[in-house]
Amino acid sequence: MPLLEVRNLIKRFGGLTAVNKFNYELEKGTIASIIGPNGAGKTTLFNMLTGVYVPEEGKVEFNGNSLIGRRPDQITFLGIARTFQNIRLFNNMTVVENVLVGMHARLRVSIVHALLKTKRFQEQEQRAKIESVRLLDYVGLGGRGDELARNLPYGDQRRLEIARALAAEPRLLLLDEPTAGMNPQETADATRLIRRVRDELGITILLIEHDMRLVMEISDWVTVLDYGEKIAEGKPEEVRRNLRVIEAYLGKGVASSLTPEANSPRPEVETGFTPPDQAAAPTQNDGQER
Ligand SMILES: Nc1ncnc2c1ncn2[C@@H]1O[C@H](COP(=O)(O)OP(=O)(O)OP(=O)(O)O)[C@@H](O)[C@H]1O
Ligand SMILES: [Mg+2]
């Protein structure tokens, strides 16, 4: 049984169908990516999986539970944590406090214990603090716990969001553009971190990304959305050669110039897609940082 199973999911905003009849299965232990041009419906899909939006139609089953109609906090409790395309941290709280917030998503402390600051509550808080510091070390923010979140550089804020999501001890981690705005070094570090989270912690990962180099490098499975519809799905090397995918990114005109008949050079567009005629051979750009 897949960890996540989506059937016929539809989300409309007025006359616009942002996600249309989306079907999807995600096996446990996978790193999977959702790609597609701006406005394709990627974030809307995440918002439906996490209870932010209620779909018009469709089913979502996670680990044997239906997610439709559940609130975001209930879905977190069932084991799905996420990060956001636009970083959402508590800017005026410290780094470690931000992780503690994530941890409280799973701790169920009774309000009486909290108000009376009972011994049990204090012990639990102490344990949570130690665990948070450990998580900060894990994502590469060791020693930064007492800084204010807003004072962290951008790349570190993205790591902190990952630490906060991990604090909820998810089975499935959703990352919405985890490397957006990062420089090549930060992107390489984030790529390693994502892989470690899967390999070492056994957490299944679904990520949305525009950085095709990262997507092709890290993903076991890639799904392509365009105008709310799934237009392709497969292993990275299959998807990167798919003409429909190239068209979605570059437009029909450019895509047809990439077919074997046309001997035109590869256009200077950073898509990470290999034209079908060059798919087997290494391209000039291989090995260079983007
Ligand atoms: N709350 C909303 N109200 C109205 N329209 C919305 C809302 N959220 C998203 N949309 C629209 O739905 C479509 C899909 O948006 P979405 O944010 O899911 O795209 P995306 O694939 O994440 O794009 P990007 O790569 O730019 O982040 C877009 O046309 C967007 O304008
Ligand atoms: Mg988005």
Give the SS3 label for residue 47. Answer: helix
Q: Ligand 1 pocket check: which of 20, 44, 177, 208 to mutate, most ligand atoms within 8 Å of Cβ?
A: 44
In a 10 Å sphere around its CB, with 0-12 CB exposed, 13-18 middle and 19+ buried, how is residue 35 labelled? buried
Q: Identify the residue whose C-alpha is closest to ligand 1 atom 31.
A: 39
What is the arithmetic mean of pLDDT over 33-37? 95
Please state the domain extents for the chain. 1-79+170-290, 91-153
CB-ligand 1 contact for 86 (6 Å cutoff): no
> How many residues would you count in the chain?
290
DSSP 8-state assignment for residue 94: B
**Helical axes 119-138 vs 154-167, angle rounded to 10°:** 130
Distance 128 CA to ligand 1 centre (A): 36
Q: Ligand 1 pocket check: which of 13, 35, 215, 224 to mutate, most ligand atoms within 8 Å of Cβ?
A: 13
pLDDT at 221: 97
Distance 37 CA to ligand 1 centre (A): 11
| CA atoms 78, 23, 177, 139: torsion sign | positive
pLDDT at 111: 67
Which of ligand 1's atoms lies nearest the C-alpha of 40? 21
> How far is Cα 100 from Cα 83, in angstroms, rounded to an integer?
15
CB-ligand 1 contact for 263 (6 Å cutoff): no
Which of ligand 1's atoms lies nearest the C-alpha of 37? 25
Q: Identify the residue whose C-alpha is closest to ligand 1 atom 6.
A: 13
pLDDT tens digits, one per residue of 175-232: 999 999 899 999 999 999 999 999 999 999 999 999 999 999 999 999 999 999 999 9
pLDDT tens digits, one per residue of 219-240: 999 999 999 999 999 999 999 8
pLDDT at 256: 58
> How far is Cα 39 from Cα 155, in angstroms, rounded to an integer?
24
Give the SS3 label for residue 243. Answer: helix
Which of ligand 1's atoms lies nearest the C-alpha of 228? 14
Please tell me the number of the ligand nearest to residue 17's CA: 1
pLDDT band at 252 (very low <50, low <70, confident <90, very high): low
pLDDT at 255: 57
CB-based burial, 209-237: b 16+ in 10 Å, e otherwise: bbbbbbbbebbebbbbbbbbbbbbbeebe
CB-ligand 1 contact for 47 (6 Å cutoff): no
Distance 94 CA to ligand 2 centre (A): 27
pTM for the complete prediction?
A: 0.85
Q: Identify the residue whose C-alpha is closest to ligand 1 atom 28.
A: 39
CB-ligand 1 contact for 43 (6 Å cutoff): yes
Give the SS3 label for residue 247. Answer: helix
Q: Ligand 1 pocket check: which of 42, 49, 50, 177 to mutate, most ligand atoms within 8 Å of Cβ?
A: 42
* CATH 3.40.50.2020, domain 1-79+170-290, yes or no: no
CB-ligand 1 contact for 283 (6 Å cutoff): no
